[in-house]
Chains A and B, each alone.
Chain A
Amino acid sequence: MDAIRGINPGSLPMGSPQQVGSTQQTDFRDFLLRSIREVNSMQQEADRAVERLMLGEEVTPAEVLTAVQKADIAFKLMMQIRNKLIQAYQEIQNIRV
């Protein structure tokens, strides 16, 4: 994973690939871990919201369901990225040397 450096995820330069890796070196691994942590915190937030709703606290169901939906979409996005990474890894594995 350390080899995958130089991608600048904060400001994806759409249509100008020559910028990649030129400024602001962000470790891809750190970025990935940070994203996973964010997805995790979203899910915890959704869990807390559901718990509060079930306990009969003053929360609107709409807020709870939105929190759940956000966590779901974030998780799906994370899974897609993970699938893509695994796919890329396997393709590299299949290279004959």
Chain B
Amino acid sequence: MFSALDISTSALVAQRIRITAIAGNIANISTTHNERGEPHPYQPRYVTFQADPAVGAFGAKGVRVSGVRVEDRPPRYKYEPGHPDAIQQGPMRGYVAYPNINLMTEFTDALEAARAYEANLGAIEITKDMTQQTLRILA
């Protein structure tokens, strides 16, 4: 009876996880140390989705996060000789390796996730209205 509500909710949860990953990418746009404290630029994370394995007669019963892709991009080098993480030797001397995260694409992704969230909220609204309208048969 409530399958449509559950399907839309699974999408809300999935898009929220996607937003979380994007927030992490934006937050770490100038992070030069990784999670173990080693001098390594942050690698952006991207969430991938998959259809719920339980596929009913009317299509997928929702969406799930299938995994988080850690993108191994070459760093963005910036000349900052005074930085403690600046490269000390070689031709790249004085450069600091920054994460190669593009704010533009991150924001576009975030906007897309937000719109998808809104769309699923709309679907929930319609389902809810329909159920409540149906009660009028008895009333």
Q: With A60-B13, A62-B12, A63-B13 in contact, is A73–B132 under 8 Å at CB? A: yes
Closest beta carbon of chain B to A80's beta carbon, Å = 4
Contact bitstring A72-97, B, C-beta under 8 A = 1, else 0: 01001100110110000000000000
Q: Please report the total number of A residues contacting B with Cβ < 8 Å.
A: 13
Q: Verify if B9 is at the interface (C-beta below 8 Å from A).
A: yes
Contact bitstring A21-63, B, C-beta under 8 A = 1, else 0: 0000000000000000000000000000000000000001011
Contact bitstring B1-45, A, C-beta under 8 A = 1, else 0: 010011011001100100000000000000000000000000000
- Interface bracket on B: 10 to 19
- Secondary structure at chain A's binding surface: helix, strand, loop or mixed? helix
Closest beta carbon of chain A to B138's beta carbon, Å = 4
- CB of A60 within 8 A of CB of B16, answer yes
- CB of A84 within 8 A of CB of B9, answer no
- CB of A83 within 8 A of CB of B138, answer yes
Q: Verify if B48 is at the interface (C-beta below 8 Å from A).
A: no
- CB of B128 within 8 A of CB of A73, answer yes
Q: In the complex, which residues of chain A have a beta carbon less than 8 angstroms from the beta carbon of B132?
A: 73, 76
- CB of B128 within 8 A of CB of A69, answer yes
Going nearest first, the 7 A-B pairs with the smallest beta carbon separation are A62-B12, A66-B9, A80-B138, A60-B13, A70-B2, A73-B131, A80-B135
Binding site for A on B (CB under 8 A): 2, 5-6, 8-9, 12-13, 16, 124, 128, 131-132, 135, 138-139
